[in-house]
Structure 1
Amino acid sequence: MGFFKNLSLQQLWQGAAATFLRYPLALLSAFTGTAAAMWLTELDYDQRQHHLYLGKLILVCALGLILFFTLELLVRRYRLSLRGRVLLRVLGLALLVLYYWFLPEELLDEHWLRFLMLALALHLAASYVMFFHVPGETAFWQFNKALFLRILTSGLYAAVLYLGLIVALLAVDNLFAVQVDGETYTQLWFFMVGVFNTWFFLAGVPADVQLLEVSPTYPRGLKVFTQFVLLPLVTLYLVILYAYFGKIVVEWAWPEGWVSVLVLCFSVVGILSLLLIHPIRFEEGNTWMRTFSKWFYRALFPLVILLALAIWRRVAEYGITEERYIVMVLAIWLFATALYFLFSRHKHIKFIPITLSLVALLAAYGPLNAFQVSQWSQVYRLEKLLEQNRVLVNGKVQRQHSKVSEAVEREVSSITDYLARHQDLEVLQPWFAVDLQEAFAAAAAPDGNRWQRSYAARDTVLHLMGLEYRTSLTTPDEQYFYFSTQPYDGAEVVHDIKGYTYALEFGLRSFEGGVDQREYQVGKAPLLISMKEDATTLYFQFEQETLSLDLLPLIKKLGAKGQDRISPEKMTFVLKGKDVQLKVVLAELSGRQKKQKYAVQSLLADVFVAPGP
């Protein structure tokens, strides 16, 4: 009963209102972004194409939430006047408006990655903006410890409440036959994450820096978590990585690219552990923590070298991409961080978030940002490839040239595909006599989306080079093919069913030495669909007769043209029997060719059944 006596709805309301007054623009950003996300779930694909601004609005609101939170921390730390607060908020709004204005309607991978780097920089800035002129690190550590625990608590509350409400909705749906749309569950998740979680988190943010200078008792749960969860994980990663390091030294081989992921995980978990144990590492009884703090950065040096070798090998073979750029920059930052904590006299832990936020900001918008450097690298690779194969002579593409190898065509295809997806093919204009923008516009469908436009641009450039598009899966001995009638945007294909009584969808997979089959009931008669060992012929077995569809001529015809997206008409077949007629529309067809032998590995198709003539 004591719990209910202490529970006051008025106190809850007053606390929520006070939080809103402290962070009004941050919460308004959360409300707006959540509303936009919930609205987006109500729209189908065609409607979303007319509301592309919603995606932009969600990104802007997500940035606005952390930006206004950071600005409010500055307001409270330096006790700005009303005029100062207004000017700071207006500046924040202006920056968000500019960000929204320069975002295109159709967001590319580049814009999402820039958003993530900018969001990381803002999150890190929120951890240190109040402590530039605060001597010592007690307040800084206490503030970030409070944020860390508040994030975990708010996430736990939001998840539990969401699961509870989901069960309640399911109960209403099943017990009272009240239909609950599937979108409702998604919208509820957006509300819990965007509104409840944000509001709950902001309500627990420490306000007074001076009070944070007082060092309270270190949370026992945090110590247990760090000592018995994080530190053993770091030790395990360290053992695995040093064992692998010894293996490549003995074998004198290049490290695998995947090792970079493990090195970064080790670094992140290790640095987080160091930050969490920072205040108590020298206390009596914490010998293990002191040892870890002393040797972590020393142990990091060989692993940074391992990371650099792994990424350098990938860059030497395939050039720089945004992902490789980020790994390279993180390797440099880890090396600089290790040097700082080993040789600096001060060893301020504020060094970590300050420098990492600057790295993220420069990687997104600096003069040598990830996107510009990646473009330069890939264009340089393409230029050298074309020059070596006499496709590019004296800075101009020669469409008539000697035949190039399939390996070169695959590499050129990979680079042009990358540049097309990033809308960077226009930088190749000096190599061509024709206007590339006009050529791209002529090749693309008038109502095509950005994926269709990028693929049309890629194929146009390859055509002007006198080359064919070849996927990276293709090898001289074995080639893979994939054909689909599905548009790049994922829109559904509508079929004409006039004259047919039944319709069904099926999928089959082939495997060596086996038969895949599906059985259906068509009216009162059974239908068995199978693909036998030859893996290129479909069989439709009724009680009275069996019809077959040989896919080999189609595969050879389409494969010779190097196509992947096919019009439904080219993938439609009518099979006529004595007592039944079928129309088969292949939606997806994939497989492999080894030498002159073809095999279908999987297919998806629609079948329409009608009585025979």
Structure 2
Amino acid sequence: MKRLLMYVKLLALGIKRAFERFPETLTVSMLFVVTVMMMIHADYDRKWIDVLEDIVLPLVVGIPLFANVKLLVERYGLSLKMRGILDGVALALIILYGVMIPEEITGYFMMRFFALVAILLIAFLCIPYFYDRKGLSQYILLMAGRFFLTILYSGVIFGGIAMMIFTVESLFGLDFVSEIYLDLFVIISGVFGVSFFLGTVPERDEDLAIEDYSKIFKTLFLYIVLPIISVYLVILYAYFVKILFDFDLPQGLIGNLVLWHAMVSAVTLFFVRDLRQSLAWLEKFFKIYIPLMVVPMGMFFLALWIRIDAYGITMPRYFVVALGIFALIGMGMMRLSKKDTALPVMIVLVTLVGISFFGPLSGYALTLRDQSSRLETMLKSNDMLSDSGDLIARPDLSESKQREVASQIQFLIRNYPVAAVSVLPSDFSDETSEAYLGFKLYGYWPIREGREYFYLEDHKNASTFALNGADYLVIMESYTPFENQKLSSSLEIEKQVDTQILVLKWENQSLGQIDLELEAGRFYENQASQPTFEFAVPGDEKSVEVKLIYRGMNGYLEAEDNRVIDYYHVWLLIDEKN
């Protein structure tokens, strides 16, 4: 009991210390709690909720911003007067941010909001070590541990109180408002959670020794993560050797293979770097491992360049490039510099986050420029853009070209305001597309009036499916191109973007072909069994069986016995039989 009381007392002292040290931050946090609770009880009044949302977002920004002001004052020993000035500047910035919130909050605005909060949180971690102070990586690890401890304590308190409320309701027949549990969660998170975490922030002159390095994280990074990423690196090199012999660079695969390995490697090396002085083998590991990452990173950027050159810049590709650059720079700095590089690495991270989400070089801006340029080139190549920049309707354009143009336009107007796409008129929309283009955008396919349309979607086995002994599962849609996609050393499939014919090849010789669009129409007529085909391998006793499993389709009835398929989604079970 004494030990329990001691822990409770320490907990209370930490919270008291947080209120004494970060009064502005906790005041903003409590205003956030009050505002969120008002939103919870706003009875779905959209106008009132919109007003409260415009208050909540600046308050969220204000919590780390005021905390950063306090840490700056402590780090540089600023006067009380200077602290007041900085608090005033922070308050003005919060108000300015609130005024700049658009009427319609888009997904990209929220991405930028979270990026801004992330930058402020990174600054919160870096300010005590800015500049020329060692131990930042260990400090970040310490604060990460205390953050998860805060989540644990908050979760236990929430669970305990919620259980008490539920028990009282059940035993005494009471009926509290349904929002009481959400209110409880917000109060514990915004008041207890924030104050407890801030109470664990080390004081200005509190230095961390290597002996203070968490044994849990030390074991995790040194004896679990490092061996795993080392073995993974060996696997990557073996894979690269296979590529050299096959002379075939897989599309879109290397990025996934390398990126997360590089990020995990960079983060792990960042956190164990300070341990090199006490572990001689770790210093040797750095000297060997980081140079070996040059080849995987080179293959990573090569694969990305091929992808971007073929399909242009998109925001996911942009962020993948940014993460790759961060991993490359971070590991390079840790290898080439003998000084503590933790702070420079964090500065690089903040810089890349800022560039990625704000300004003319952001992913949003570069994607718009690149994809708009690709659309302009596409329109010009199809004689759909005049010298003065006006659209020219081309109803006679082939259906494959219509689909290509429609797909590019829909990508842009799905992600950007029409006014931002320079080659499109300001009143361009799905409804006006036929007047400007000569065909509509719906479903990437021109829609004709007076037709009987049909639709099919299979919701069964949405997440699990038995392969039933098949060797390969290939998933494709009607617009998916497969150009010489190898399944094994002998077997490959091919489907061009402008045709629905699937060609099977064995050692570069055609085994046969399947008209996927024709089979989709036949399947719609008779859904009792899935289409199955078997092709004999010439000069061998082998055969290849292909089973088509149509998961969705739509189209229209052109004649009594002719169904035209606009779109299909099919799974192919392919089995090499002896």
SS at match of 1:206: coil
Query: Which residue in 1 is equivalent to 2:260?
Result: 265
**Aligned partners of 2:434, 2:224: CA distance in 1, in Å?**
53
Residue deviations 1:97-126, cap 9 Å, x none? 222211212211221121222222222222
Give 1:352-371 correspondences, 5 Å limit: 352-371=345-364
Pair 1:119-2:117 in alignment: yes
Asked whether the 8 Å contact 2:392–2:437 carries over to 1, the reply is: yes
Asked whether the 8 Å contact 1:536–1:600 carries over to 2, the reply is: no
Calculate percent identity across the aligned residue pairs.
Answer: 26
Per the normalisation by structure 1, the TM-score is 0.68
SS at match of 2:554: strand
**Aligned partners of 2:149, 2:128: CA distance in 1, in Å?**
23
Asked whether the 8 Å contact 1:70–1:125 carries over to 2, the reply is: yes
Asked whether the 8 Å contact 1:270–1:296 carries over to 2, the reply is: no
Query: Which residue in 1 is equivalent to 2:542?
Result: none
**Aligned partners of 2:137, 2:277: CA distance in 1, in Å?**
16
Q: Note closer, same or farther for the CA distance 1:162–1:306 as it changes in structure 2 (3 Å cut).
A: farther
SS at match of 2:49: coil
Pair 1:388-2:381 in alignment: yes
Query: Which residue in 1 is equivalent to 2:30?
Result: 31
Query: Which residue in 1 is equivalent to 2:6?
Result: 6
Q: Note closer, same or farther for the CA distance 1:481–1:15 as it changes in structure 2 (3 Å cut).
A: farther
Residue deviations 1:160-215, cap 9 Å, x none? 33333443344344444434555433443333333322221111000123x31655
**Aligned partners of 2:13, 2:460: CA distance in 1, in Å?**
65
Give 1:552-591 correspondences, 5 Å limit: 591=553
**Aligned partners of 2:31, 2:445: CA distance in 1, in Å?**
44
SS at match of 2:393: coil
Residue 481 of structure 1 and its aligned partner are, at CA, apart by 7.5
Residue 364 of structure 1 and its aligned partner are, at CA, apart by 1.9
SS at match of 2:95: helix
SS at match of 2:342: coil
SS at match of 1:596: strand
Residue 458 of structure 1 and its aligned partner are, at CA, apart by 4.9
Q: Which amino acid aligns with 2:362?
A: N
**Aligned partners of 1:473, 1:239: CA distance in 2, in Å?**
47
Query: Which residue in 2 is equivalent to 1:467?
Result: 439
Asked whether the 8 Å contact 2:75–2:128 carries over to 1, the reply is: yes
Query: Which residue in 1 is equivalent to 2:333?
Result: 340
Please provide the CA RMSD for this pair: 3.6
Give 1:37-116 correspondences, 5 Å limit: 37-43=36-42, 47-116=45-114
Query: Which residue in 1 is equivalent to 2:475?
Result: none
Asked whether the 8 Å contact 1:127–1:353 carries over to 2, the reply is: no
**Aligned partners of 2:21, 2:148: CA distance in 1, in Å?**
22
Q: Which amino acid aligns with 2:164?
A: A
Pair 1:151-2:147 in alignment: yes
2:302 to 309, 323, 344: 309
Pair 1:425-2:387 in alignment: no
Residue 261 of structure 1 and its aligned partner are, at CA, apart by 4.0
Query: Which residue in 1 is equivalent to 2:130?
Result: 132
Pair 1:400-2:393 in alignment: yes
Give the gaps of 5 or more residues in structure 2: 447-452, 462-521, 527-550, 557-561, 570-578
Residue 431 of structure 1 and its aligned partner are, at CA, apart by 5.5
Query: Which residue in 1 is equivalent to 2:317?
Result: 324
Query: Which residue in 2 is equivalent to 1:201?
Result: 197
Query: Which residue in 2 is equivalent to 1:548?
Result: none
Asked whether the 8 Å contact 1:257–1:314 carries over to 2, the reply is: yes
Residue 382 of structure 1 and its aligned partner are, at CA, apart by 0.8
Give 1:414-563 correspondences, 5 Å limit: 414-428=407-421, 432=425, 436=426, 439=427, 457-461=429-433, 463-471=435-443
Residue deviations 1:503-540, cap 9 Å, x none? xxxx99589xxxxxxxxxxxxxxxxxxxxx99799xxx
SS at match of 2:277: coil
1:596 to 546, 563, 567: 563
**Aligned partners of 1:93, 1:41: CA distance in 2, in Å?**
26
Q: Note closer, same or farther for the CA distance 1:144–1:600 as it changes in structure 2 (3 Å cut).
A: closer
Give the gaps of 5 or more residues in structure 1: 441-456, 475-479, 484-506, 512-532, 538-588, 603-613
SS at match of 1:350: helix
SS at match of 1:107: coil
Query: Which residue in 1 is equivalent to 2:158?
Result: 162
Residue deviations 1:222-253, cap 9 Å, x none? 21222233324423543454344344333333
Q: Which amino acid aligns with 1:146?
A: L
Query: Which residue in 1 is equivalent to 2:573?
Result: none
SS at match of 1:396: coil
Q: Which amino acid aligns with 1:253?
A: D
Asked whether the 8 Å contact 1:16–1:199 carries over to 2, the reply is: yes
Q: Which amino acid aligns with 1:296?
A: Y
Q: Which amino acid aligns with 1:74?
A: L
Residue 77 of structure 1 and its aligned partner are, at CA, apart by 0.7
Asked whether the 8 Å contact 1:66–1:123 carries over to 2, the reply is: yes
Asked whether the 8 Å contact 1:481–1:590 carries over to 2, the reply is: no
Residue 129 of structure 1 and its aligned partner are, at CA, apart by 2.0
Query: Which residue in 2 is equivalent to 1:225?
Result: 220
Q: Note closer, same or farther for the CA distance 1:37–1:255 as it changes in structure 2 (3 Å cut).
A: farther
Bigger Cα displacement from structure 2, 377-386 vs 419-428: 419-428
Residue deviations 1:444-477, cap 9 Å, x none? xxxxxxxxxxxxx454356422232144699xxx
Per the normalisation by structure 2, the TM-score is 0.72
**Aligned partners of 1:311, 1:406: CA distance in 2, in Å?**
30
Residue 401 of structure 1 and its aligned partner are, at CA, apart by 2.4
2:229 to 205, 230, 234: 234
Query: Which residue in 2 is equivalent to 1:254?
Result: 249
Q: Note closer, same or farther for the CA distance 1:51–1:257 as it changes in structure 2 (3 Å cut).
A: same
Q: Note closer, same or farther for the CA distance 1:598–1:271 as it changes in structure 2 (3 Å cut).
A: closer
Q: Note closer, same or farther for the CA distance 1:469–1:239 as it changes in structure 2 (3 Å cut).
A: farther
Q: Note closer, same or farther for the CA distance 1:54–1:142 as it changes in structure 2 (3 Å cut).
A: same
**Aligned partners of 1:597, 1:121: CA distance in 2, in Å?**
52
Residue 327 of structure 1 and its aligned partner are, at CA, apart by 1.5
Asked whether the 8 Å contact 1:52–1:106 carries over to 2, the reply is: no
Q: Note closer, same or farther for the CA distance 1:106–1:319 as it changes in structure 2 (3 Å cut).
A: same
Q: Note closer, same or farther for the CA distance 1:30–1:256 as it changes in structure 2 (3 Å cut).
A: farther
Query: Which residue in 1 is equivalent to 2:181?
Result: 185
SS at match of 1:393: coil
**Aligned partners of 1:196, 1:473: CA distance in 2, in Å?**
55
Q: Note closer, same or farther for the CA distance 1:246–1:32 as it changes in structure 2 (3 Å cut).
A: farther
Q: Note closer, same or farther for the CA distance 1:292–1:107 as it changes in structure 2 (3 Å cut).
A: farther
Query: Which residue in 2 is equivalent to 1:584?
Result: none
Residue 392 of structure 1 and its aligned partner are, at CA, apart by 1.0
Q: Note closer, same or farther for the CA distance 1:172–1:215 as it changes in structure 2 (3 Å cut).
A: same
Q: Which amino acid aligns with 1:592?
A: N
**Aligned partners of 1:75, 1:224: CA distance in 2, in Å?**
36
**Aligned partners of 2:445, 2:70: CA distance in 1, in Å?**
52
